[in-house]
Structure 1
Amino acid sequence: MTLTRTALALLASLTVATAQADAPKADVPGSADHPVLKRFTGSLLVGYAQQEWEQRSFPDASGVSKTEDKFNRPVNVEGKVTRLYYLAPLGKSPLEVFRNYQQALTAAGFKPTWGCESEAQGCTKAYFAIDGYERGKGMRWAEGDLPAADSAHRGSTWALPMALSYDQARMTVGTLTSGGRTLNLLLFTSMAENEHTNRAATYIEIVEPKAMPTGQVTVDAKAIGQGLQAEGKVALYGLLFDTGKTDIKPESGKQLDQMAAVLKAQPALKVLIVGHTDNVGSIDANLALSQGRAQSVVAALAQRGIAANRLQARGVANFAPVAANGSEDGRAKNRRVEMVLQ
């Protein structure tokens, strides 16, 4: 039986519709745009991950290597990491998507460090330097694949996860100040997998400065004893306080138990309990705060059976930093209590 031209056209349209049904139809459950950068209109957020504290590698102003597919001088940045992968509406070009992001970022005060818009400028090398396999680890993905949109490849589909390419690739990297914080941002736009999908894909990575959560590791009695013997002091980050408060938090119990254990094992040992702060606030306020925290630790050790004449509390505010106070992570390291041999 010979099919009419109208029937063939109808059959073709039904086949394309079936292929299109395989494409994602909704965002990844539980995902959301980052507050500082909204999506290109009509896009779906089909890949998403967020880590409260991690390290990521960004290119510096020298961009990519001239001889290898990697960043020339990668810069490691640490903090809260958000990774997002968007699919633009069918038919939107990578250039249109990239220019819209570029315009929005510029209006928000984005300061580019490096970027590319062609192979000659390093975009192909940037694609390989991003390393989709590594960047995609731990991301959650929407249901669906990337079907071909052209009739010549009807029925073909490609896997969705990190389906970037160097076809029409563009990239920008830099910093954006928001809410008093400087965020590091990487944005890469290209065809999604290849030209046959007729979709643009955008991968965005945003790192917000954030102090590493501390107090998650308890220094045991053996390590405390070794530290005191080797250096005459040991820093204890398992002693926790609310901001601006001197009352020791219940989560500090395990660390206090280990401190008491080493003192009970060495009855002749006498120590100073020294409180330290970061440089936020006045010197007088920080002296009072550090002294109050040291006294709280002494009181908690006394409750565990350590004689008061073996303990002295001292607060030294921010006079003895162990890191620069210019970053949140540095300030977190400076907020500590130390046991020091008398």
Structure 2
Amino acid sequence: MTMRTLALPTALLTLALTAPAARAMEGMPTADVKGGVDHPVISRFTGSLLVGYGQQDWAATVLPGAGGTSKTERNKFADPVQLEGRITRLFYLSPEGKTPLEVFRNQQQALMAAGFKPRFLCEVKDCLAPAYFAITDEDRGKSMNWAKGYLVGVRGSNFKGARWGIPMSITWEEGHILAGTLSRGGTTLQVLVFTSQAANEYTDRAASYIEIVEPKAMPTGQVTVDAKAIASGLQAEGKVTLNGILFDTGKTELKPDSNAQLDQMVAALKAQPAAKVFIVGHTDNVGSVDANVKLSQGRAQAVVAALTQRGIAANRLAAYGNAGYAPVASNASEDGRAKNRRVEMVLQ
């Protein structure tokens, strides 16, 4: 072990030994972290404990690209892959005596057998340390819940019984990093696996950090377009997209969360009593054209009905279903399809 790698365990040891007496006596966790579950695309190494777990329904992250770590920027990826979607983070501790190499090779073989396409692989020290810092500097562990307890030293006369913190206790010693893609059910998942010694050689365990990103459109309709913005949009462009009009998939019934947006539409129309508008429904390209025409027309009619119930004269409103004929984004991605599913108010 180099002098540089000794610095991390020593610091962690100091923290452990200065902890309150009750906590200092804690040992290895004996059960998974509360709420933690394996991800369906990769199982745990036999006998491992899931000691760290976190899932964000929609968030952003960075994974290594094919170029690995940067030659000009310290502890950065050369061509980082910027990702958004549902992020699952898992941290495992292997059984005592299992080497990082054994654990990693099993993970690697399981992924490859499932059709994994590797983009970046690092198993030598020249790239391990920069990759380690590029990953851990993102503070990924802060989004995770952790099991109580410590890593306990079982080797070395000076370190038996010593304790080190568990959160993000991967290191570049005996490290192996793999990043790439895995297709499942028509969706391409991004996967990162980082397996190494758990804190240091004295724990005689391997630690594995796994990050899985599932592409997913950001939840929309969480911000309504107010009456002033509606009026400005109609004046400037003759139309405005109404982000707060919400429907369940394949349905024409307005969700209750649409009420705030409907109230703002009413306010805008009452402020312009002479204005007449089309309410236009749009869909993505999923399904047949006939079905999408029917769906978009039904949604537009539901909005017209809701506005007339709120006091807007029916002769000022007309419903029109445009199906997927006027996309505002590519239908090749879920994010694009989500943008295309919309309701607009258009001046007649």
Amino acid in the other structure paired with 2:34: P
| Structure 2: runs of 5+ lacking an equivalent | 1-23
Provide, for residues 62-112 of structure 1, a one-character-per-residue CA deviation record: whole Å limited to 9, x for no partner: 111123211111111221110000001111111001000001101111111
Shift of 1:40: 0.3
Amino acid in the other structure paired with 1:61: A
Amino acid in the other structure paired with 2:39: H
Shift of 1:227: 2.1
Shift of 1:154: 2.6
Q: Which residue of 2 aligns with 1:129?
A: 134
Q: Which residue of 1 aligns with 2:303?
A: 297
1:61 aligns with 2:40: no
Amino acid in the other structure paired with 1:274: V
Contact 1:271 1:340 (8 Å CA) reproduced: yes
1:212 aligns with 2:218: yes
Amino acid in the other structure paired with 1:144: G
Amino acid in the other structure paired with 2:44: R
Distance 1:38 1:20, change over 3 A: farther
Shift of 1:262: 0.8
Q: Which residue of 1 aligns with 2:114?
A: 108
Amino acid in the other structure paired with 2:333: S
Tell me which of 39, 43, 49 is aligned to 1:38.
43
Q: Which residue of 2 aligns with 1:253?
A: 259
Amino acid in the other structure paired with 1:66: K
> 1:88, 1:298 → 2: CA distance?
60
Tell me the percent identity.
66
Contact 1:133 1:162 (8 Å CA) reproduced: no
Q: Which residue of 2 aligns with 1:142?
A: 147
Contact 1:59 1:114 (8 Å CA) reproduced: yes
> 1:287, 1:232 → 2: CA distance?
23
Shift of 1:133: 5.4
Q: Which residue of 2 aligns with 1:11?
A: none
What secondary structure does 1:38 align onto? coil
What secondary structure does 2:189 align onto? strand
Contact 1:110 1:175 (8 Å CA) reproduced: yes
1:183 aligns with 2:206: no
Contact 1:169 1:190 (8 Å CA) reproduced: yes
Tell me which of 210, 220, 223 is aligned to 2:229.
223
Amino acid in the other structure paired with 1:159: G
TM-score (norm 2): 0.89
Amino acid in the other structure paired with 1:262: A
1:329 aligns with 2:307: no
Q: Which residue of 2 aligns with 1:338?
A: 344
1:142-161 aligned within 5 A: 142-150=147-155, 151-161=157-167
> 2:209, 2:137 → 1: CA distance?
10
Shift of 1:21: 5.8
Q: Which residue of 2 aligns with 1:50?
A: 55
1:51-90 aligned within 5 A: 51-67=56-72, 68-90=74-96
> 2:254, 2:79 → 1: CA distance?
43
Shift of 1:250: 2.2
Q: Which residue of 1 aligns with 2:33?
A: 28
Shift of 1:144: 0.4
Bigger shift: residues 66-75 or 272-281: 66-75
Shift of 1:20: 9.3
Provide, for residues 11-52 of structure 1, a one-character-per-residue CA deviation record: whole Å limited to 9, x for no partner: xxxxxxxx9961111100111100111000010000000011
Shift of 1:264: 0.9
How many residues are treated as equivalent by the alignment?
Answer: 323
Provide, for residues 196-253 of structure 1, a one-character-per-residue CA deviation record: whole Å limited to 9, x for no partner: 2111100000011222211222222122222222322211121111222222222211
> 2:25, 2:128 → 1: CA distance?
29
> 1:80, 1:250 → 2: CA distance?
25
Tell me which of 242, 248, 273 is aligned to 1:236.
242
Bigger shift: residues 80-89 or 20-29: 20-29
Q: Which residue of 1 aligns with 2:326?
A: 320
| Structure 1: runs of 5+ lacking an equivalent | 1-18
> 1:93, 1:132 → 2: CA distance?
25
Amino acid in the other structure paired with 2:71: K
> 2:101, 2:254 → 1: CA distance?
55
Contact 1:144 1:160 (8 Å CA) reproduced: yes
Q: Aligned-pair RMSD on alpha carbons?
A: 1.5
> 2:234, 2:65 → 1: CA distance?
41
> 1:242, 1:128 → 2: CA distance?
43
Shift of 1:132: 5.1
Shift of 1:158: 1.2
